[in-house]
Structure 1
């Protein structure tokens, strides 16, 4: 692990509320990239976003960064399966994830920005916060790493 023990504890505290919800945990049943589940991907993006902010001493709202990243792909369907996928998934899923997030959790403005803007520059909605820029960047890095299986899993499937 790259984070220090107290940072891991903080990370776990930030996602604890989500992990208690069956709908959030159900993301483990949907594949995101390669053999990586949506849950694993989302938690990896949250972890590495937090890690980068700490490593480079970027002053961020760490709680919102972790929470927004964990919820950025909370769309609850397998976009690889034709019957279950929404048309234009890459463009539409941020809004679907946001709608699911506000259905179950209290989301602040930074978390909203992260969830809705994480697909930039594919979507034209530019992130307004440092946290959303970080998550957008880390999301792309994790997606490439997962697709090509070039880093180890953070959680067990």
Structure 2
């Protein structure tokens, strides 16, 4: 189940609409990310949640939203494609950065966000708080994406149990 709350946030949409309109970003919909989401849905979720946090703390919402959207701008299946130069965690931020630079001009902060969003799995330490936020939100979103079907099954089970209990009370 994807969250489309971002569509009603005109400030957020204004920051990323030019990127979302590109074929390069839309192409992310063709790739599965964490088993149960597309790379585009994952990237939008990371971007929007990171934007909300940056906004709450008075940080750079533009850089956070845009780089959050572009942090996984790569076009291969990371479960099957292997690299001689290092792991996917090490390689894909560099690939995403190169692809993002072809798409739009990036500020130093945006480059840092994209390059260092895997800081827990790599030694690349974020320079900005915005980079840290996107990295942490990316981790949480990956877990959410992966466990989404289990969460949905549990919610269905919980509703059935509640209905059963309410039916017994009414009798």
Same structural fold, with TM-score higher than 0.5 when normalized by the shorter chain:
yes
- Post-superposition offset of 1:53: 2.8
Cα deviation 1:6-56 (Å, max 9, x = unaligned): xx11111111111121111000000110220111000000111112233xx
Structure 1 gaps, min length 5: 152-157
Partner residue in 1 for 2:35: 34
SS in 2 for 1:126: coil
Give the TM-score taking structure 1 as reference length: 0.85
Alignment coverage as a number of residue pairs: 144
Work out which of the two has the higher radius of gyration on C-alpha atoms and give 1 or 2. Answer: 2
| Alpha-carbon separation, structure 2, partners of 1:2 and 1:25 | 18
Q: Which runs of 4+ in 1 moved over 4 A?
A: none
Partner residue in 2 for 1:140: 139
Partner residue in 2 for 1:128: 127
Partner residue in 2 for 1:11: 12
- Post-superposition offset of 1:91: 1.3
Partner residue in 2 for 1:46: 47
**In 2, are the aligned partners of 1:34 and 1:148 still within 8 Å (CA)?**
no
Structure 2 gaps, min length 5: 153-171
- Post-superposition offset of 1:2: 6.4
| Alpha-carbon separation, structure 2, partners of 1:74 and 1:142 | 16
**In 2, are the aligned partners of 1:27 and 1:37 still within 8 Å (CA)?**
yes
| Alpha-carbon separation, structure 2, partners of 1:28 and 1:116 | 22
| Alpha-carbon separation, structure 2, partners of 1:42 and 1:143 | 10
Structure 1 vs Structure 2 CA RMSD: 1.8
| Alpha-carbon separation, structure 2, partners of 1:36 and 1:127 | 26
**In 2, are the aligned partners of 1:2 and 1:51 still within 8 Å (CA)?**
no
